[in-house]
Structure 1
């Protein structure tokens, strides 16, 4: 019997437990999923969301893996008691959801949809024709699984896509840059900028005043990544002085975004409530089951976190 501990609040447990049990039924061994296993009897830990009480991993002397249900791991990666492998969620519907959100909002700004959606007043506004996609350069900061998926989808629509990452990547159809010089070059052409970096000390406020100045005047910023990637005050200033035309933001430093936050009433800001990409319980359960099966077969785990890099 393989004992699997679910560490997450009741709402997440109620949503995910049926799908996890269904996925585990297909495994070639018996798996007992519970929220109440004794620590020294746990073989695998599924780390869910909410106010989980699990902070100390020291008693889990038998556990082989902590499997995160989300892509982000910033709330656990720095835990000094975590002395076992940590895997983040890759797949589970995250990639497709992110592609759909990013593509939708890129097309919204590329086509200038707001002028027509907000202008149903009898005025025939045909004075501006959007460029073809091949003439609208897009930059994606972050070329992990989500960044690559979004970049590939946008390139398939004809957009010239530049991707920037900490280390050099090679993604067919994308111009891939890295390092400090690559960062400046990636920003300099970005008429639409998409942030899909993980939140780490190295990426904290990476889009600050200096970075925003490197963007072309009239650029649009999309942030479905992490709230901490942006210097909020610098972005507001860039919006107010007209250097940035619009910001569509899905993630924030404080969530839910407080009702008195200046992003809410700003005419050049669109707030979406952290919906760009969510783990789908049925698909995520398959990813979790596959990783546990790999552990029992003695195979390397998938999607392991680099603890030093923070993602």
Structure 2
């Protein structure tokens, strides 16, 4: 069995030995143009040339939760694309989102600013019932986030393409219920996959549906948010601010309005990082299962884009 590995930005020097140790019967090599045919490809943002040249693949494994980069390529017919189920990312995402929600709700950003100026201040406590949190996207990560936020007694709404039932979460689904979901939420957390249907989903029209004084947390993809519309909604007073971990261009270009906006908190796409050891173990288990003719979780529906 031969495995080819490629990553646009991950450390091959660590991944290849890790995959080799987890699958001692396999030959794992770094993909280069003209590389030998492989049975499986383990990739992150591969070039089209890899997919065109590797004509014997049984499956393609994506080393991250988001598969939007792969979906932009011409995929080989009949070859399954398999994403990571979790690999330690859901708990990281839950930590990040809960921190952002609580930081905004408790006005810790305001206290931080006041303390930096030597000001001893007091703010009236807020009621959680006035700050329902809406999780936009209820996949593996979104469901974990919704359940975690609910542990802090916030009302939690969830929206997904198809119906889902999660204890403690008021569920909305489908395009017909998206506006109702937004209107029921004051803090909106974007955890959607990026597809043609979800690109620019948080535009001026949709942002206006969020409850007045609302707050946006984007930990999915930068292209979900129309930057100018978000800035206008904040500067116009409809939204109180935003926490953004993802951007249309990364690294975020110097001079972008997000860098120094007083009501926007930014982080460098770090809300949930791929954990190499857990990811390798998961991929190895799935390859072994496929070799034995078993089905595996995480198969991407190319028609839906996730």
Task: Give the TM-score normalised by structure 2.
Answer: 0.93
Residue 252 of structure 2 corresponds to residue 257 of structure 1:
yes
The answer (yes or no) to whether the contact 2:48–2:73 under 8 Å persists in 1 is no
- Give TM-score, length-normalised by structure 1: 0.92
Checking the alignment, whether the CA contact within 8 Å between 2:48 and 2:74 is kept in structure 1 is no
SS of match in other structure, 1:255: coil
Equivalent residues of 1:56, 1:81 under 8 A apart = no
1:154 aligns with 2:149: yes
Encode CA deviations 1:94-146: one digit per residue, 9 max, x unaligned: 11111111111111111110121111245442241122x45521001101111
1:303 shift after superposition: 0.2
Tell me the number of residue pairs that the alignment of Structure 1 and Structure 2 aligns.
Answer: 303
Aligned runs of 1:33-112 on 2, under 5 Å? 33-36=28-31, 41-49=37-45, 52-53=46-47, 55-83=49-77, 84-112=79-107
* Offset, 1:224: 0.5
Higher relative contact order (CA 8 A, sep 6+): 1
Secondary structure in 1 matching 2:259:
coil
Partner of 1:197: 192
8 Å Cα contact 1:7-1:53 kept in structure 2: no
* Pairing partner for 1:280 from 268, 275, 282: 275
Q: Would you say 1:116 and 2:115 are equivalent positions?
A: no
Change (3 A) 1:267 1:7: same
CA RMSD across the alignment: 1.8
Show structure 1 runs of 4+ deviating over 4 A. 36-40
Note the 1:201-280 alignment, pairs <5 A.
Answer: 201-280=196-275
In structure 2, the partner of 1:142 is 137
SS at match of 2:96: helix
Report Cα offsets for 1:131-166 as digits up to 9, x if no partner. Answer: 2x4552100110111100100111122111100011
For structure 1, the 5+ residue unaligned runs are none
Looking at structure 2, the residues matched to 139 and 271 of structure 1 have their Cα atoms a distance apart, in angstroms, of: 20
Q: Which runs of 5+ in 2 are unaligned?
A: none
